[in-house]
Structure 1
Amino acid sequence: MLKVTWKQVAAWRVGRQHLARRAPAGSMLAVASRLCGLHAQVMSSAELTVWARVEGLERHAVQHALWKERTLIKTWAMRGTLHLLPADELSLWQAALSTSRRYLKPALWLKYFGVTIEELDRLTEAVGDALDGRLLTREELVDEVGRAMGSRACGAKIAESSWGTILKPAAFSGRLCFGPSVGQRVRFTRPDSWLAAVDHAPRQPISPHTATADVARRYLAAYGPATYHDLARWWSGGGISTAKQWIASLGEEVCPIEVEGVQAWMLASDTRELRDASTIRSVRLLPGFDQYVVAASHHTRYLLPGDLRPRVFRPQGWISPVLLVNGFMQGTWRHECKGSRVEIAIESFVKLPAWVRRAAKQEAERLASFLGGGLRLHWKS
């Protein structure tokens, strides 16, 4: 069995995730695909996730891809969180998500939302019918669903679900995605009609078994080596039985390896590259909720100095922006646009060598330029 260190794992992951050398200009969709989508609970973080990895990214490239070209789709996906997914891969993700299409167990729907499974399924179908070829605000969707179900109370369940939980089964089954907002009001649409309007050819249906195997394969290709728990936490935040099935479905494509005494799984085709991985000097300013950090949440004791996890993984699920040095979390940072200035404050966890401070300043200058302002940089330690 191959045995590797976390230093090797970090070197391999930053390479796979375009954090050692950035992807060339025009690679935004390829990077989104490599990362298994872009985490978009905070839209600006999704944009900076791409900025950190792609050369020459234009300021509004993500917005343009979402609402003009429609090459990215915003929807609820892994862990029930918002993601931006490449439109030409949507059928893959929907097929995988359909394996948990109701999102929660029946008893939880009844206990917390007051709906039976039968009512939930009817509501989900009504949502899809209402959104076909249309863009509706949440309020408009409430009215349409209430009318279709002959019950304003059923439609009102959508309004009562402030975090959108009751709409997630519609997203998981391909009946709902996000459209462009009107002011501060979110709008929804149906992905198949939304994409058909710009001549996106419909993809052939993918079986759930094929889709989940491919999702596991993609996850390991970007975030491996991984344990069953790692995959389960990334996909659903829950138990490991599904993760075991998905990895088992890959057969000889995967093999066990040992990372400093812990057994994990890796694509067999990547083991040589992992074994030979060596550190390439790299300093990156990763935004909040960056996928590199999210995927490492179970391994922070190896990638974060001392007992500093609470500085990155904060209460209520918030994840801080991170100063990443050679794949290790060496600090946090924040930024604020003030007129023509972009103020960036970096707080290091350890004493940083001069080359890291120089590289971090270059990253800060690059970010200020991307945001359209002059840099004012502050260091804290």
Structure 2
Amino acid sequence: MTKAVPVIGDAERRARLGWRQLLVPSVRAARVEDVADAVVGLHATDAATVYLSACARLAEPSVAEVDRALYEDVTLVKLLSMRRTIFAVTEGFAPYVSSGAARAIALKERSTLLKHLREHAEGWDEARLAATEREVLAALARRGEATTGELAEDVPQLRESMVMAAGKPYEARQSVGSRLLRLLASDGHVRRCRPRGSWLSSSYPWALVPQWPDVPVREAKAEVVRRWLAAYGPGTVEDVKWWTGWTLGDVRRALADVGALEVALADGSAGLVLPGDAGPVAAPEPWAALLPALDPAVMGWRGRDWYLRPGDVPALFDRAGNAGPTVWWCGEVVGGWAQRADGELVWRLFRDVGVEAERAVAVAAERLAAWLGPVRVTPRFRTPLERELVAGV
């Protein structure tokens, strides 16, 4: 007799999202490391997202708490990893992310950089690139930390530049230094230090990173997928492939290594969970949240219909697929928000969600405004709705 496949409906998935993403107020965390592990990694392509995503999940929102982990205790590390996106992951998880995702990206980045150097700069080959990397690491060892510009004082070749797409409307000039430091970061040799300026600044110095334990690639990929299923499951094979950026073969192998179990989702597709995780979870208390652009909750799955209506996607995403600021109610995206130049937080709900939800959204906005204070946040990737709200349209 064939054993019935467990069914996990949309309401159950939304309950899991609230509990496991620490968005239900009663389970908010005390430390940012717990937040990062709960969502596997905090999106860090936009400097503001790390802080906004973390503080939405902290019992006591605090820029200082995020700074502590990133720049004082260095228990959060930023890595160019899954999907060639920068994630802030915990120190204990970093070796797995490095072996499972970042190193492969670094190999491609190095190959691409070398190709561009040969085509668009003079006198560069593999030997010169490797020698320059060694000089940069040696300079950082002497200085302790330094910006790319400061490193160029010791390693002048970092000032050289490449003209990309010459003669085309999108022609751009890139410095060797900016590309090379990014490469060294993705390879796990350097890290970003406290920015020069506010926590929103993208001007930051670099420092050396102690070398992490060497984790076999297959073991590392399995650990990444295990954590993803624990935080985001159930999800489909396509969700895992999209989130990791891996080949289908790598995804299927990692899922098999963790013993992923099949469940049925509401739309009839096959979902996957960790062993022992197919049972129901309790419904959380009602909750609302204002989450930032690129938040892990909105960017966690490729298939989003169970928490985001397809008709609302054009307003909330840019053309490259980057999510803007979102308003959530009980596990669903119900609108978007923005901050105007005078600091006012404004939002738009896409449908009637009821008086309780409207009040909860207003409370969430007050909470966000209180810890932001005089800070003004503009997403790096701006979306149609965010622009309209800022403009008062």
Normalized against structure 1, the TM-score is what? Answer: 0.81
Matched, 1:135 2:170: no
Partner secondary structure for residue 209 of structure 1: helix
Match of 2:349 in 1: 348
Distance 1:243 1:145 in 2: 41
Alpha-carbon distance change, 229 to 157 in structure 1, aligned in 2, over 3 angstroms = farther
Structure 1 residues 161-310: aligned runs within 5 Å: 164=178, 166-183=180-197, 185-192=203-210, 204-236=213-245, 239-250=247-258, 252=259, 254-259=260-265, 260-272=267-279, 275-278=280-283, 280-296=285-301, 298-310=302-314
| C-alpha spacing 1:305/1:94, structure 2 compared with 1 (3 Å) | closer
The 1:33/1:124 distance shift into structure 2, 3 A limit, reads: farther
Aligned to 1:372: 373
Shift in CA distance, 105/56, structure 1 to aligned 2, threshold 3 Å: closer
Question: CA deviation digits over 1:156-207, x for unaligned, max 9?
Answer: 5698258955544422332121112334633212111xxxxxxxxx864433
Report deviation, 1:291: 0.2
> SS in structure 2 opposite 1:330?
strand
Q: For residues 134-159 of structure 1, what are the alpha-carbon distances to aligned partners after superposition, in whole Å with 9 as ceiling and x for unaligned?
A: 3122223445456xxxxx38965698
Counterpart of 1:73 in 2: which secondary structure? strand
- Match of 1:140, as an amino acid? E
Which structure: greater strand fraction? 1
Structure 2 residue matching 1:181: 3-state secondary structure: coil
Distance of 1:214 and 1:357 partners within structure 2? 39
In structure 1, give the amino acid aligned to 2:283.
S
Alignment of 1:13-92 (within 5 A): 13-24=17-28, 26-92=30-96
Per the alignment, residue 379 of structure 2 pairs with none
For structure 1, the residue ranges without an aligned partner over 5 or more in a row are: 147-151, 193-201
Amino acid at match of 2:273: M
Q: Quick one: distance in 2 between partners of 1:59 and 1:318?
A: 24
Structure 2 equivalent of residue 195 of structure 1: none
Q: Distance in 1 between matches of 2:41 and 2:92?
A: 12
Q: CA deviation at 1:350?
A: 0.6
| TM-aligned CA deviation for residue 281 of structure 1 | 1.6
Q: Which letter maps to 1:49?
A: S
The verdict on how the C-alpha distance between 1:4 and 1:190 changes in structure 2, with shifts beyond 3 A counting, is: same
SS in 1 for 2:25: coil
Cα pair 1:231 1:243 within 8 Å, conserved: yes
Q: Tell me the CA shift for residue 320 of structure 1.
A: 1.0
- Between stretches 347-356 and 362-371, larger displacement belongs to 362-371
- Does 96-105 or 322-331 show the bigger shift? 96-105
1:279 Cα deviation from its structure 2 partner: 5.5
1:144–1:155 contact (8 Å) kept in structure 2: no
Q: Secondary structure at the match of 2:314?
A: helix
What is the DSSP-based 3-state SS (H/G/I as helix, E as strand, rest coil) of the residue aligned with 1:186? Answer: coil
8 Å contact from structure 2 (residues 326, 333) kept in 1 = yes
Task: For residue 215 of structure 1, give the secondary structure of its aligned residue in structure 2.
Answer: helix
Task: Flag the 1:102–1:82 CA change in 2: closer, same or farther, 3 A.
Answer: closer
Query: For the aligned residues, what is the CA RMSD?
Result: 3.3
Checking the alignment, whether the CA contact within 8 Å between 1:39 and 1:290 is kept in structure 2 is yes
Question: What is the CA-CA distance between 1:118 and the residue it aligns to?
Answer: 6.4
1:310: Cα distance to partner? 1.3
User: Residue 152 of structure 2 contacts residue 177 of structure 2 at CA under 8 Å; is this kept in 1?
Assistant: no
Question: Residue type matched to 1:281 in 2?
Answer: P
Matched to 1:73, the amino acid is V
Give the Cα–Cα distance (whole angstroms) in 2 for the partners of residues 227 and 33 of structure 1: 21
CA contact (8 A) 2:193 2:206 kept: yes
Contact 1:106 1:117 in 2 (8 A): no
Instruction: State the identity as a percent.
Output: 23
1:198 matched residue in structure 2: none
Deviates more, 1:129-138 or 1:357-366: 129-138
Residues 130 and 155 (structure 1), Cα distance of their counterparts in 2 relative to 1, 3 Å cut? farther
Structure 2 counterpart of 1:191, which letter?
Answer: V
User: 1:81: how far off?
Assistant: 2.2
Equivalent position of 1:362 in the other structure = 363
